[in-house]
Chains A and B, each alone.
Chain A
Amino acid sequence: MRRRVEIGILHSSSGDYCAIAAASRAGALAGVSDVNASAQSFIEMMPVLRDPRGQVDLYAPLCHDILTTSRARHVIGCATSSSRKEVLPVIERHGATLWYALPYEGFEASDHAVYMHACPNQHLLPLLDWALPRFGTRVHLVGSNYIWGWEINRLAREVVANAGGSITAERHLPMGEIAVASMVEEIADLRPDFVLNSLVGTTQYAFVAALRAVRPDLPVLSCNLTECELPRMGGAAEGLIAAGPYFAETGTGFANSHAAAAHASVIEMARLFERHEGGEDMPLAELLALDQGAGPIDFETHHTALPVLIAEVRDGAFQVLRRLPPVPGDPYLARHDRRAPARAQLRLVP
């Protein structure tokens, strides 16, 4: 008889960034199916799903709901950093664990969270290292008006300044805003060498379409763009460049890095729960202490080592231009081993 383990899944099926949330939820559910279908598995995972519908203030109450109406103590979810910041206090109060599997801006290492996707030393810094000598050092920054856009642009400004470059301008638009004309006009006037695009959801789709109409050849780089959003941009997405730990290529198993990271999260949860009986009820720190570094999660940062890929959209799919070996997550960019090779590596492809 298999042990039944409930896990929370907190992702939006509607709202501005639902394409990303759907990709992540699909990856988590595929992970649950794989665990349950495995003949070697001692556990049966039961997902407890809640849908905050893209509304930031529904995340905390729905997380509370998972933790009080089910036995789940591990929750995978949240797409935006604003929703993660809402959920973490609830997670901490219950001694629960949040598995966050999307790219984010770093500067966080909660004792109650695992960060399974890339942080800036795994996306922004290698992307700028690659782009500055290639395209030039006059950089234009655009982003959505919340912590992701603000912090990515703040960090890009520091890195570009250290490299002797300059910022032509930094502009932010509210989530969901599609009036992008003046933002695009300004870029056409200022003629930067490239644009760093940290826009999210519908704003990004509108921006890319409008910019392509006037500056078809201007490089546009992103740390949060994956395959799941390409259909929403159609032909305008051609030539967009993105950094990430994974892109769908021949022989890979997932549609995008959100699905791959969410799947890897569930597989790692299952490994921890099987190896340590009752692990599903333990606080994360206790569980990782018992596990003694057998898995991919760094004991100190709760981040993982991830490969860095830089890819360009060609004929509707990402083609990898640059592939760097895995680097450990360094959320505060203050660790010595920032660019050293990884010890344990996260396997994104099972």
Chain B
Amino acid sequence: MSRALNILGLAGARAAILHRPHPTVAAIERQLAAIGLSANASWPELVPGMAADFLFFDVDMGFDAQFPWLPGQSPIPLIALIGSEAPGRIEWSLARGAHAQLLKPVGDHGVYSALLIAQATFAAQQSLSAEIGDLRDRLAGRETVVRAVMALVSQGLTDEEAFARLRRLATDRRESFEAAAKRVLARTDSLPVRKGPR
């Protein structure tokens, strides 16, 4: 999988910081300003309706109810702000689905690499999820394909011809093999099935 970074794509990005007022927040804000990102800090809740492309969140005092999405399903890259390196807190940060981390106290460095790593990890995760979803759908569609082929065979086609027809149907309508099979089944279910030897 390509991990090439698109650094020019960071222009105009916005960051939310979920942390109580603290020198750590000021340090992150300073680095974000130098990089060119706008920042918006809040605690304990996210600002409702605020648009953000990255979220920095406090691992030391953070809790599940702060996030309006299920654990591991954030719509944007997450950067964990870790002060206390206690296993329970790190476990919680992982469960929330952190894509990168920054150790507190935050000084003069770290934000840029955290942004790039979070962005790349998030993108990799998104593309893997999409691929897994697609494979699951196709796995679930296997039975449909078998039934569609059987239906076509029962109408007098050889199994090779049945597969070829499904492939052509899928190509013609630019849909998946499984979707073509579903259509064939929907049509043939209403047709009488020819019984007996060909």
Contacts and interface: CB of A to CB of B under 8 A. Distances in A.
A4 interface: no
B44 to A, nearest CB: 28
Nearest to A331: B34
A300 interface: yes
Contacts of B11: 333-336, 338
Interface string B24-42: 0000001101111100000
Interface size, B (range): 10 to 19
* Candidate in B12, B33, B36 with the most chain A CB atoms within 10 angstroms: B36
A6 B34 CA distance: 29
Nearest to A88: B108
Contacts of B35: 109, 331-332, 334-335
B108 A92 contact: yes
A323 to B, nearest CB: 25
A278 B88 CA distance: 48
A336 B6 contact: no
A252 interface: no
A332 B34 contact: yes
A82 interface: no
B61 interface: no
Interface string A301-330: 110000000000000000000000000001
A334 B10 CA distance: 5
Contacts of A110: 108
A336 B4 CA distance: 23
Interface in B176-190: none
B33 to A, nearest CB: 4
Interface in A88-110: 92, 107, 109-110
Contacts of A92: 107-108
B108 A300 contact: no
* Candidate in A109, A301, A330 with the most chain B CB atoms within 10 angstroms: A109
A338 B8 CA distance: 11
A158 interface: yes
Interface string A155-175: 100110010000000000000
B30 A333 contact: no
Contact of B8 (A107, A109, A333): A333
B36 A332 contact: yes
Contacts of B33: 300
Contacts of B10: 332-334
A321 to B, nearest CB: 26
A309 to B, nearest CB: 23
A99 to B, nearest CB: 17
A252 B35 CA distance: 33
Interface string B2-30: 00101110111100000000000000001
A112 interface: yes
Contacts of A109: 31, 34-35
Contacts of B30: 111, 300
B75 to A, nearest CB: 21
A295 to B, nearest CB: 17
Nearest to A336: B12
Nearest to B109: A110
Contacts of A301: 34
A77 B112 CA distance: 25
A334 B6 CA distance: 11
B8 A158 contact: yes
Nearest to B11: A334
Closest 3 CB pairs of A and B: A335-B36, A109-B34, A334-B36
Interface of B: 4, 6-8, 10-13, 30-31, 33-37, 107-108, 112
5 contacts: A111-B30, A300-B34, A334-B35, A334-B36, A335-B35
Given A158-B6, A300-B30, A334-B37, 8 more contacts: A109-B31, A155-B7, A300-B34, A302-B34, A332-B7, A332-B35, A334-B11, A335-B35
